[in-house]
Copies of this chain bind each other. A is one copy, B any other.
Amino acid sequence: MTEKTPIKAAVLVIGDEILSGRTQDVNVAAIARFLAPFGIDLAEARFVPDVEGEIVAALNALRARYSYLFTTGGIGPTHDDITADSVGAAFGLPVTHHPDALALLAARYKPDDFNERRRRMARMPEGASLIANPVSAAPGFQIGNVFVLAGVPKIMQAMLEDVGHRLEQGVPLISRNLTVRLPEGRLAEGLAAIQRENPAVSIGSYPFFAEMRAGAAMGGTTLVVRGRDETAVDAAMRQIAALAKSFGAEPE
């Protein structure tokens, strides 16, 4: 069996609007799905408010612990956009106007509209490299193992296209699903035994209820096997399928 040590990443979501429930975060899930084919597991996510001390503490905890850290939010032109300064403080680096970022922004705005606040979007810790923003010009940046991305999902996703080529490639996690019209409580004993016999994989059991799926007459369970060794994943999934069949379930 080859080395299966996963590469781990974290996401830090920055913004009062997420913690107030005003805005639904969708960036964590998008980053997780983006990282999966690289063999990089999202291992933790945190949401913090627009408070520099909170951002710095979370940045330093997460960048020390994981191979990569992605931040979202707080890189616009207004007073509540404090991510660049917070990242500078976390790294102990001065934050200055990056000349390439200034040039990108200058090309986007009419001279009269390129005010001091918009110039702020070019500020980043010294030594940062730009992350292209094909949507609205103002770039993200990378410093060390930290990728600083926009909060608007459309822009965040576009920025990820300029991140992939900078990432180390791990062994991708393989995932197999089986959905059955059985309550998970009936399968639980057998699933626990299969998990014990198959320590190389991780087995997840996710119940759903009839009203959660259109046209579903009753609820059921989605069973997920994850692992880095395809043979092991498939072997565990065959045991789970046999277990479900023994309770009369037809696979969907």
Q: Which residues of A contact B (CB under 8 A)?
A: 16-26, 28-33, 36, 41-50, 54, 76-80, 109, 113, 115-118, 120-121, 135-136, 152, 154, 173, 175, 184-189, 191-192, 195, 202-209, 211-212, 224, 226
Question: Once the chains bind, are A16 and B117 in contact (CB under 8 Å)?
Answer: no
Q: Which 4 A-B pairs have the closest CB atoms?
A: A21-B32, A117-B188, A21-B33, A78-B205
Q: Which of B42, B78, B187 contacts A20 (CB 8 A)?
A: B42
Question: Once the chains bind, are B43 and A19 in contact (CB under 8 Å)?
Answer: yes
A202 to B16, CA, bound (A): 9
Question: Once the chains bind, are A188 and B77 in contact (CB under 8 Å)?
Answer: yes
A235 to B210, CA, bound (A): 49
Other A-B contacts than A50-B204, A79-B192, A80-B202, 4 sampled, CB-CB below 8 A, are: A23-B29, A24-B29, A78-B205, A121-B185
Question: Once the chains bind, are A185 and B118 in contact (CB under 8 Å)?
Answer: yes
Distance in Å: Cβ of A119 to nearest Cβ of chain B: 10
Question: Once the chains bind, are A78 and B191 in contact (CB under 8 Å)?
Answer: yes
Question: Once the chains bind, are A30 and B19 in contact (CB under 8 Å)?
Answer: no
Contacts of A19 in B (CB 8 A): 28, 32, 41-45
Contacts of A195 in B (CB 8 A): 79-80
Q: Which of B18, B121, B204, B211 contacts A17 (CB 8 A)?
A: B204
Given known A-B contacts A80-B204, A191-B78, A205-B78, A113 and B185 have beta carbons under 8 A apart: yes
Distance in Å: Cβ of A27 to nearest Cβ of chain B: 10
Given known A-B contacts A44-B47, A192-B117, A212-B154, A185 and B77 have beta carbons under 8 A apart: yes
Distance in Å: Cβ of A77 to nearest Cβ of chain B: 4
Question: Once the chains bind, are A28 and B30 in contact (CB under 8 Å)?
Answer: no
Q: Which of B28, B80, B116, B184 contacts A77 (CB 8 A)?
A: B184
Distance in Å: Cβ of A87 to nearest Cβ of chain B: 19
Question: Once the chains bind, are B206 and A23 in contact (CB under 8 Å)?
Answer: yes
Q: Which of B16, B42, B136, B209 contacts A204 (CB 8 A)?
A: B16
Contacts of A33 in B (CB 8 A): 21
Contacts of A152 in B (CB 8 A): 207-209, 212
A36 to B225, CA, bound (A): 38
Contacts of A30 in B (CB 8 A): 21
28 A-B pairs with C-beta separation under 8 A: A17-B224, A18-B29, A20-B32, A21-B28, A21-B32, A21-B33, A22-B175, A22-B224, A23-B29, A23-B206, A43-B49, A44-B46, A44-B49, A45-B47, A46-B46, A78-B188, A79-B188, A79-B195, A79-B205, A80-B204, A80-B205, A115-B185, A115-B188, A115-B189, A118-B185, A152-B208, A152-B212, A154-B209
